[in-house]
Structure 1
C-alpha cells in the first residue's frame, strides 16, 4: 500500500464545533476586527479567548 496522502495530523486539532448566536452588530464587529488585523474570524475569536484567559490568570 502507498503511504497516506494529505496533511499530517496536528498535535492539538480543533475538532470541537461551537455554535453561538450573535446579533448583526456583534458579527459585524468580529468581521471588522478580523479584516483590520488581516486574520480570520476564528483567529480573532481565539485572540479574544486568550485575552480573557490572560486577564483571569492575572487575578
Structure 2
C-alpha cells in the first residue's frame, strides 16, 4: 500500500473565508450573464470584480 494520500493536492492560496451577500434578482441575472460569457463561476466573477475595483481605487 502507498503511504500517499489520495485526493486534490493542497492549494498555494487556499480560499477558506466565506462571504455571504444579499442581492436582488437583477444583480443575480447580471452575475449569471457574466459567468456564462466568461465561462467561469460566480466566485471568480466576484473576485475579478473586487480586484478591478481595488485597482481603480489605487489610481
Partner residue, 1:35: 36
Q: How far 1:12 sits from its partner (Å)?
A: 1.1
Cα distance per residue 1:34-59 (max 9 Å; x no partner): 1112111111111101101111111x
SS in 2 for 1:16: coil
- Give the aligned length: 58
User: Could you say which residue in structure 1 is the equivalent of 2:14?
Assistant: 13
Structure 1, unaligned runs of 5 or more? none
Provide runs of 4+ in structure 1 moved above 2 Å.
none
The TM-score, its normalising length taken from structure 1, stands at: 0.87
Calculate the aligned-residue CA RMSD, in Å.
Answer: 1.2
- Output the TM-score relative to the length of structure 2: 0.87
Is residue 46 of structure 1 aligned with residue 52 of structure 2? Answer: no
CA distance in structure 1 between the aligned counterparts of 2:7 and 2:38, rounded to whole angstroms: 30
